[in-house]
Amino acid sequence: MLFNSLSFVVFLAIVLGLYYSRLFAWTNKKRMLLLASYVFYGLWNPPLVVLLWISTVVDWTAGKKLAVLENQRKRKLWLLLSLFVNLGFLAFFKYGDFLLENFTALLNAIGVEYTARPMDIILPMGISFYTFQTMSYTIDMYNRRIERARTFLDFALYVTFFPQLVAGPIVRAKELITQFYEEKRATTQQFLWGLFLLTIGLFQKVVLADTLLSGTADDVFGSRDVLHSLDAWTGTLAFSGQIFFDFAGYSTCAIGIALLLGIHLPDNFRYPYAAIGFSDLWRRWHISLSSWLRDYLYIPLGGNRHGITRMYVALTLTMLLGGLWHGAAWTFVVWGALHGIYLIVERLLRGAIKIKINAWNGIILALLTYTCVNITWVFFRAREFSTAKNMILSMFFLNEDGKKVLYTFDIIKVMLVILGLFLCHWVMRNTSMKAVAGKTNPWVFGVFWALLFFFIVISQGSGEQFIYFQF
């Protein structure tokens, strides 16, 4: 079920009606939310709900054992069981065909003729998100950072909470499970702000991502021709805007829907395209994933505690695996590798060059960061390395006689949207939407909200699923 569908509007209205009904006690309301979450997920492919059940039961059981066992060997075995089940599901369903293809290619490369029949595995929606979320619970239990969930119902709802189940934010147990212990009801102010966040999120997805930008990105990256430099840059910029509005739109919708229920979810984006440098970027982009990778991968690999060389190795491995998390393709690995290289180069330059950031050089550095990020988006979006190669060559003016596939109107439209996006991020980089809304005249805010709703209604978006559903 998609947030940007009429069926979800009906679904949400029913859930809210039951949630705020005085006919049910809090425990029954949680059961209703759990059932609604299974319905929300199961409408894509009902049998795949079984994977959620298995992960839930395994990690609940592992958590119970980790809470009482003192024998370190037994505790480690229960943690390994949790990791084996969760990562096993992820490896099979997300990377099964990818591993088979590469194994076949390796055999053929060394002279062994072998042809494997594709397994055509169905990728469960959101498996990367809920796998990381439930794994964080058992890892934190093993490290004694949290108390185990009070009831199985609380834990099951934590794993499957429908607003953020499919595409995040990836929420830690200490941030969400404890909110289920006592009845939650949104105040009038929280409910209205939740509705506004839902509106903003849908506007980003339906109007900006799908209607204004996705067509241009598809035309450019779907072309088999060597493109003109302007078209290559326009298509890449269009995708950079599309993926931000699409993913940030989902996260904003999720936070807003949860707030309608009186539940708080953490921010997942903080105006990342105004980041000054790549460390700053990853503190602003997909915050729940970058913090997960930092806490459960980078730091356990040594982080910055064991010398420069160990730190660079840990950083490189973290970004490579972060790239592979996004998709089963070598283009995603290259995307992660580029970000790893950027972070290493940034650290080297920071040690050699001291720059005092001000408003003038800050915006130049932010533009430089954004330009470098766009180069990585080429590998993220391209389906094949040949496409990525031609795009990069065109963007650096190394392809002569490139073909133009975009109309002038499309180019102007994308440039205006991206310019507005960058300026908005720059102005908002040190504040928040809620802070700005609090300073805005209520009548002006109401008109702005009405305009957002109007553009959503008249938009020609075709109900496309969110990009990160495929991850």
Tokens 């241009």 sit on residue? 216
Report the C-alpha gap between 392 and 386 in whole angstroms.
10
Report the C-alpha gap between 275 and 282 in whole angstroms.
9
Find out whether 233 and 395 touch, Cβ atoms under 8 Å: yes
Bridge partner list, 403: 227
Tally the residues of the chain. 471
Find out whether 336 and 321 touch, Cβ atoms under 8 Å: yes
Query: Is residue 425 annotated as a catalytic residue, yes or no?
Result: no
Report the C-alpha gap between 63 and 149 in whole angstroms.
8
Report the C-alpha gap between 341 and 238 in whole angstroms.
24
Tokens 């790893």 sit on residue? 340
One DSSP character per residue, 190-203 reads HHHHHHHHHHHHHI
CA distances from residue 51 to 34, 229, 346, 411 in whole angstroms, order as listed: 15, 46, 41, 44
Bridge partner list, 63: none
Residue 42 exposed, middle or buried by CB count within 10 Å (0-12, 13-18, 19+): middle
Which residue out of 228, 286, 326, 425 is catalytically annotated?
326
- The three-class DSSP label of residue 398 is coil
Task: Return the H-helix or E-strand segment holding 271.
Answer: none
Report the C-alpha gap between 212 and 217 in whole angstroms.
10
Report the C-alpha gap between 36 and 14 in whole angstroms.
10
Where in the sequence numbering do the catalytic residues fall? Answer: 326
